[in-house]
Amino acid sequence: MTSITVNGKQLAVQADPATPLLWVLRDHLGLTGSKFGCGVGLCGACTVQIDGVALRSCQVPLDAVGSAKVMTVEGLSNSGDHPLQTAWIELNVPQCGYCQSGMLVAADALLAQTPHPTDADIDAAMTNICRCGTYLRVRAGIHKAAAAMAAKTKA
């Protein structure tokens, strides 16, 4: 039994310690929001935050997680109203949607570090692949969420 903390909950997992976190989340814990896209850390569909850092969960074995806090797309908000989620819906960002959980989790990590990112900041931080071509809207969504978060902080 391994214990890990996901989205604020401590959970016990019966899995080979070498199992990549992605498959622990999806197949053992039923958190299917994080997606399998390439299995080699290149596409970003499986992006989660580990202690606030955006990482490809397919490249992180279970036993490397330790006591770190894992956050998946399911942990962004309780009722789907994170500023990024709201911006994504308002701007109709997703097409097929498969890559968007990874996009959102990566964007959330970016905004935590850089509350007012430039286009260049977004280019550098957002390395996720979207085959449908939603990049223009992902960029707009990040700017919109950043503005909404700034307005909230002021108020």
Partner 1 sequence: MRAPSPLDRRQFLVRTSAVGGALVIGLQPAHGAEAAPTVSAAPSTWLKIAPDDTVTVYVPTPESGNGAMTQCALYVAEELACDWSKVHAEMASGTAKFIEQKAYGRSVHFFSGRTTVEGSMDAMLQVGASARERLRVAAAETWNVPVSEIVAKDSVLTHRPTGRRLPYGHVAARAADVHLAQEPALKPPGEWTLLGKVSQGKLTNKQVVDGTAVFGMDVRLPNMLYAALLQSPVQGGHLKSYDFEAIRKMPGVHSVVVVDPAEPRFPAPTTPYSRATANRPQSAVAVLGDHYWQAKQALDALPVEWDPGSGAQWKTTEQLHGHALRACETPGKVSQSIGDTMAKLKAPGGVVLESSYLTPFCDHVTMEPLNGMAMVTADHVEVWHPTQMPLTAFYLAMEETGFPQEKVTLHPTLIGGAFGRRVICDDVRMVVAIAKKVPERPVHVIWSREESMHQGRYRALEAARLTARLGEDGKPEALLARIAGVGQTTGIGQPTSGLANTPYFLSASPNTQVELTDLPVHIMTGPYRGPSYNSNAFIVECFIDECAAAAKTDPIDYRLKLLAAWADPGWAKCLETVRRKSGWGQALPRGEGRGVGISNWGGDGRPEAGTTVAVVARVAVSPTGDLTVRRLDVAFDCGSIINKDAVLAQVEGGTLFGLNMSLNEGLTIADGRIVEGNFHEYPMIRMADVPEVHIHFDAVTGHKRFSELGEPPVGPVGPAIANAIFAATGKRIRQTPFRKQDLSWA
Size of the site for partner 1 (CB under 8 A): 61
Residue (38 or 68) nearer to partner 1, CB: 38
57 part of the interface to partner 1, by CB under 8 A: no
45 part of the interface to partner 1, by CB under 8 A: yes
Taking contact as CB under 8 A, which single stretch among the options 49-57, 110-118, 119-127, 144-152 is the one that binds partner 1? 119-127
149 part of the interface to partner 1, by CB under 8 A: no
Taking contact as CB under 8 A, which single stretch among the options 19-27, 49-57, 108-116, 144-152 is the one that binds partner 1? 19-27
| CA pair distance 88, 66, nearest whole angstrom | 32
Nearest to 11 by CA among 90, 55, 65: 65
Rounded to the nearest angstrom, the gap between the alpha carbon of residue 5 and the centroid of all alpha carbons in its chain is 16
Nearest to 22 by CA among 10, 12, 31: 31
Q: Which residues of 62-90 are buried (b: 16+ CB within 10 A; e: fewer)?
A: beebeeebbbbbbbbeeeeebbbbbbbee
49 bridge partner residues: 54, 71
Residues found near partner 1 in the complex (CB under 8 A): 15-16, 19-20, 23, 26-28, 30-40, 42-43, 45, 72-74, 76-77, 80, 84-85, 88-90, 92-101, 104, 122-124, 126-139
